[in-house]
Amino acid sequence: MNTGSKNTIAVVLAAGKGTRMKSSTPKVLHEIFNIPLLGWVLKSLGDIESVIVTGSGRELVEAYLEDKNVKTAYQAEQLGTGHALSCAVSQIPDDFSGNILVLCGDTPLITNETLTSFIKYHNREESPLSVMTSILDNPYGYGRIVRDGFGCISKIVEQKDCTQEQAEINEINTGVYLLNYKLIVPLLSEIKNNNNQGEYYLTDIISLAVKHGLKPSAYCIKNFEEVFGVNSKQDLAAAFKIMNARHIDYLMTKGVTVCDPNNTYISPETEIEADTIVLPSCYIENKNYIASGCKIGPMAHLRGNCTIGEGCKIGNFVELKNATVKPHTNIAHLTYVGDAEIGSNVNIGAGTIFANYNSVTKEKKKSYLADGVSIGSNSVLVAPVELGENAFVAAGTVVTKSAEENSLVITRAPQKEIKNWIRSKK
């Protein structure tokens, strides 16, 4: 994000317990594609300086944020969104004169593009206060945007406080705001908790701004999915599906063939080039790069930190992690490759295992396969090993030592044949 971001500080509200999640894990730490909900929100913010308001599960949330280059503010009691923003003010420099972007830590589908557009709109309108809104056919459960006779936003009314007439309004509050710090933050002290929840609603800042002669503005987004909040395990599953479908659709617009989008799962952190085919039931998580002309699956599992070169085949029931595979290599089926660098034009037979982990020492070791290596079926490579160019590993071999180029590697007990054994047993 660049437009207006240097003059903006984000406050992410992440203090809620998430009672409906039925979990000891704080709500914002529940994961989609191995990244917490809060992590996806931080990704959407790009380089904007951020303050995270923590509360329930504070220690766990702050432990996650340790390497994220953000500030934190503690909301000891969850007394509402207005109170949460007040808690964050202590982490904002006294001489700050820009805008505060407020959003929730449980909205993993918000995009950098949408937030950038929101900031542009706010700056263009020179608005003291902007709220992001959306239109819903069924707005139940959301705060309603109430406008005056001139069409200007006058207040936000929460669902439980709505009159019958207000409940019929279908423009809703998404919970995303931009506030002029110097003009609006002083009004936080005027927010009261005389509502059905007994909370200090940040939504009341709208009517307070109007009372002080300030004119709030509303930025209406078309895609409500972006501000979909996760409050239950059902919501978590729904957000996962939306994120997955959105990324798969993006990949297909780039020329990637995804044969069955409803039964394929690809993390948004994974980049795939055109003319690669992803067959059904693949699960590709975390960050990976797959070049053009590859065939992946069916039922392949890429666990992250994998780079797959042009024209490779990663077959059914193949699992890869921390692996670099150079062009035109086949890893056809029933194989595990972990912590490996594999050259080009390599063939890895069915049932091959890269034994990369020592459960006693808790160490992981790496294997190196040069160009043209061939691994026979049902072999085990016990890392660390290095196989030279065009080395050939016979089927059923356990490789424990490195081998030179053009060599045959075989560890196989002599085959015995006991004639008439069956007859003797009968």
Q: Which residues are designated catalytic? A: 333
At residue 312's C-alpha, the angle toward residues 309 and 386, to 5°, is: 70
Query: Do 346 and 332 contact (CB within 8 A), yes or no?
Result: no
- Cα-to-chain-centroid distance, residue 108: 7
How far is Cα 175 from Cα 97, in angstroms, rounded to an integer? 22
Q: What's the DSSP call for residue 298? A: S
- Cα-to-chain-centroid distance, residue 44: 10
* 227 Cβ contact partners less than 8 Å away, ≥ 6 residues apart: 107, 109, 110, 132, 134, 174, 175, 176, 221
- 30 three-state secondary structure: coil
Query: Do 3 and 119 contact (CB within 8 A), yes or no?
Result: yes
What does the block give as tokens for 66?
Answer: 């340790």
Query: Do 339 and 305 contact (CB within 8 A), yes or no?
Result: no
- Residue carrying structure tokens 């809703």: 172
Query: Do 193 and 199 contact (CB within 8 A), yes or no?
Result: yes
Q: What residues form DSSP beta bridges with 289?
A: 271, 307
How far is Cα 243 from Cα 237, in angstroms, rounded to an integer? 10
Selection from 55, 232, 239 nearest residue 141 by Cα: 232
What does the block give as tokens for 350?
Answer: 């069915």
What does the block give as tokens for 24?
Answer: 């000891």
Phi-psi region of 57 (alpha: psi -120 to 50; beta: other; left: phi over 0): left
| H or E element in which residue 287 lies | none
